[in-house]
Structure 1
C-alpha cells in the first residue's frame, strides 16, 4: 500500500482505511518509510563511521528513553479496566525493570554504557542528555496518558520493525568498533525475541478494536507520532555530535 497525502503529523485526508487488512498494510508502510532505522545517524552508527565519544553520546541519550519505557507502560496499564490486558501488558515492565533475581533491559543498557566507558551514576542521573531527548521521551509518556487507550497501544507498534534494526546494530557495531563486544550488546540480542511477541499482541489488538475508518486513522496517526518521537532523538544527536552543536550543559565527549 502507498499512502497519498501522509504528512509529518498524520495519515492525511486522502486515505480511508476500510478494513483491518488495510490498516495493517498502512501500518507496515508507515514503518517502511518512517522508522528511525532510515535515519542518517543510524547509518553512521552501524557503519562504523562514528568515534567512541559519539557512540557514548548515543548510548547516554538513549538510556533516558529505555529507562522511561516501563513508566510509559505503567501508564498504559492504568488506562484499562480489562484485567486480561493489564496482565498481558505488565510483562513489558518486567522486561525492562527486571524482577527480583532477574536482570532487565535497563540493567543491560547500563552494561552497554559502562562498557563504553561512561560512569553509571552520571548515566542514571540523566543530567547530560540533550534537551530534545528529554522533551521527546516525555511527550511519549504524555501521549499514552492523554490519548485513547487504543492509541496508547498503537503507539507501541514500532516494535514491529525493531528486530531488523537490532540485528543490523549487533552485526554492524561488533564488526566496526573495537570497543564493542557481545556482552555489552546483550540488550539488543534479548529484544530479538521480546519485541516480536509484544508487537504481535499490539497489532492483533488494534486490528480487532479499530472498527471504524476514523479509529483506524487514529491508530496510524499514533504510529506516526511514535516514529517522530524516535526520529527527533536522532535529529538531536546528529545536530549535536555530528555537526558539533552541543547545547550548554550536555555531555561533551573526551577528545578521541
Structure 2
C-alpha cells in the first residue's frame, strides 16, 4: 500500500493549505517578540520597577493604536459578516462604553504599577523609536491589501502562550503591582485564541497563488519586526534608575 504525499511546491507553485499554514505558524513562533532580550528579562524577573514602568508607558502607545488599525482593516472588508467580526475586535479594545475594553485595562495596569493615567494618555514619555514603529504599523494597515492586513494580525497565533507566561511572571516577580492590574493579560488569552483562528481561516482562504502566500508571510514578518523594534527602543533607552 502506498501513501500519497503532496509534492514539494516549485518556485511559483502554491503551497498546499497544510504547507502554507505550517509556514505561517513557524513564522509567528520563530519571529515573535517573546524571544526579545527585554521580554526574557521581564519574564525572568530581572527588570526593575522603573524599567517595567517604561515598558508599560511605551507599549500603551502601541495598544491605543490597535483599534485604529482594526478600523482600517474593517474599511477594507466587503462582507457584512466579516465587518461584524472586525467590529467586535474594535470593541474588545475600546469597549462598548466608557470604562471598558483593553485600553482601559492597560491604563489600570499602569496605575497598578504606579503610573499616572494622565501622563500615559498624554504620550509625552513615549520614545521616538516607539513612535516611528507604531506609525509604520498603522500606515501598513492603511496602505496594504485586505489579505496582507489580516495576515499581519497572525502574530496572535503565538500570543496566548505569551500572555500566560507574562501573568505567571508578574505574579512571581512583580508582587508590588496590584493583582487587579493584570486583567488585560487575563482577558487577552481567550480573545487572541479566537482572533487568531478567525484570521488564519481567512488568510488560508484568500491566499490562493504562491505570490499571495508570500505576501501574507511577508506581512506577518513585518508585524513581528514592528513588535521587535518597539522592544529594541525600550531596551536600549537610557537606563532607568532602580528605586
Give the deviation of 1:178 after TM superposition: 2.5
Structure 1: how far apart are the matches of 2:120 and 2:12? Answer: 43
The answer to whether the Cα contact below 8 Å between 1:174 and 1:181 also exists between their aligned partners in 2 is no
Q: Map residues 35-114 of structure 1 onto 2, 5 A cutoff.
A: 35-100=32-97, 103-114=100-111
Give the deviation of 1:39 after TM superposition: 0.5
Give the deviation of 1:100 after TM superposition: 2.2
Structure 1: how far apart are the matches of 2:118 and 2:64? Answer: 14
Give the deviation of 1:101 after TM superposition: 6.3
Give the deviation of 1:141 after TM superposition: 1.0
Q: Does 104-113 or 82-91 show the bigger shift? A: 82-91
The answer to whether the Cα contact below 8 Å between 2:49 and 2:242 also exists between their aligned partners in 1 is no
192, 195, 206: which one aligns with 2:189 = 192
Give the deviation of 1:23 after TM superposition: 1.1
Give the structure 2 partner of residue 19 of structure 1. 16
Provide the TM-score with structure 1 as the length reference: 0.87
CA deviations 1:213-238 (Å, max 9, x no partner) are 00000000000000001000111111
Structure 1's 57 and 80: CA in aligned 2 closer, same or farther, altered over 3 A? Answer: same
Paired residues, number: 234
CA deviations 1:118-153 (Å, max 9, x no partner) are 111110111111111111111111111111111011
The answer to whether the Cα contact below 8 Å between 1:53 and 1:254 also exists between their aligned partners in 2 is yes
Structure 1: how far apart are the matches of 2:12 and 2:158? Answer: 22
| Structure 2: gaps of 5 or more residues | 1-9
Structure 1's 254 and 41: CA in aligned 2 closer, same or farther, altered over 3 A? Answer: closer
The answer to whether the Cα contact below 8 Å between 2:12 and 2:210 also exists between their aligned partners in 1 is no
Give the deviation of 1:21 after TM superposition: 1.2
Structure 1's 15 and 178: CA in aligned 2 closer, same or farther, altered over 3 A? Answer: farther
CA deviations 1:86-110 (Å, max 9, x no partner) are 1111101000000126610001000
Give SS of 1:49's match: coil
Give the structure 1 partner of residue 162 of structure 2. 165
Provide the TM-score with structure 2 as the length reference: 0.92
